[in-house]
Structure 1
């Protein structure tokens, strides 16, 4: 496995530090860096990037807007790495498709593990970030009457941070069947990303 990572942060010291620390893991390669969201969007559109590591507050285009564009226009998966855990930033980033939201006070090992998890379609969030999600409403709400028992099992598995493959293994179904269930759940709710499914469950809306 060779995970191609983009580092996007307006702090040069942070970028340089991550460029040194991340490749210490043999499965990660830093392919590019950016100092604002606009640069990150262009790089992801023109370069093969598996995971974009994005700060929130940056000039020109912030991390939230960058996530929105990158997710909608490329196959790059986005992981927020920031010092800011304000509820607005958390909810907006996840609503636009970020697969993780972690803080810079994490250890290098934790950041590396988060990158790998996001690469494997697993949702990653610090515990205090989860607390903010549970305490705030994210629309649209999900009505439990909409789902079959199997679909609810899928939703719970997603909320545990399991990838499609792991969901299939846990529920003894194929990866393709798991994907089909997730597509049905998204259609029923009007949600756009599996991360949003997890948010709704964690908020007690199912």
Structure 2
């Protein structure tokens, strides 16, 4: 059973999520909170009783970004899945760097939210493709994708070849394997082989984790 805490300042959304998630056979709603501060307090007061926090990003008192930081500091084993809208630019990268397991857009179907909770609980990184593309645009606009800022690691520091580094950046751009193959004049099979090598070198499970790794560890 995945014990899930719901944090959202909209009482209708909060209670709707409680009811919907409560119908899932493998998910138990541990509680609901109106902001990040309440969520942090709940996790601290109920140690070992929360597996995943489903966190709205825009909330009063304490938003989802700060809530993520505090929860991950207080209980590193608790996973955080952020619910966001497409326009929450300023929050997205910060929450990932603070340890959010991923992002889902608020308009996805309930079954997708449940699947997201399961994925994050299992240790998989999760990011809606539209959000990944938006993040890539933000990073390119700031020139962050070209090189790591002073004091931050570079992809080469992880033993990645030049070709592998190019593929990592394309994944962080939100491109599919087919789009990467077209952009780099490779076959899809070759791209898949490169990704397998990248996953092994970085100790990651899937291409979404590669994107989040890049955003957390390399990009400004």
TM-score with structure 1 length normalisation? 0.74
Could you say which residue in structure 1 is the equivalent of 2:94? 92
Shift of 1:72: 1.1
Work out the CA distance in 1 between the residues paired with 2:65 and 2:16.
23
Mapped pair 1:130 → 2:177: no
Could you say which residue in structure 2 is the equivalent of 1:107? 109
Could you say which residue in structure 1 is the equivalent of 2:158? 147
Kindly indicate whether the alpha-carbon contact (under 8 Å) linking 1:159 and 1:198 is maintained by their aligned counterparts in 2. no
Deviations, residues 57-81 of structure 1 (Å, cap 9, x unaligned):
1111111000000011112110111
Kindly indicate whether the alpha-carbon contact (under 8 Å) linking 1:79 and 1:98 is maintained by their aligned counterparts in 2. yes
Larger radius of gyration between Structure 1 and Structure 2: 2
Q: Which range moved further: 109-118 or 140-149?
A: 140-149
- Note the residue ranges of structure 2 that are not aligned, 5 or more in a row: 161-196
Could you say which residue in structure 2 is the equivalent of 1:167? none
Shift of 1:6: 0.3
Q: What is the number of residues matched between the two proteins?
A: 172
TM-score with structure 2 length normalisation? 0.69
Work out the CA distance in 2 between the residues paired with 1:156 and 1:86.
30
Equivalent positions of 1:115-126 (< 5 A) are 115-126=117-128
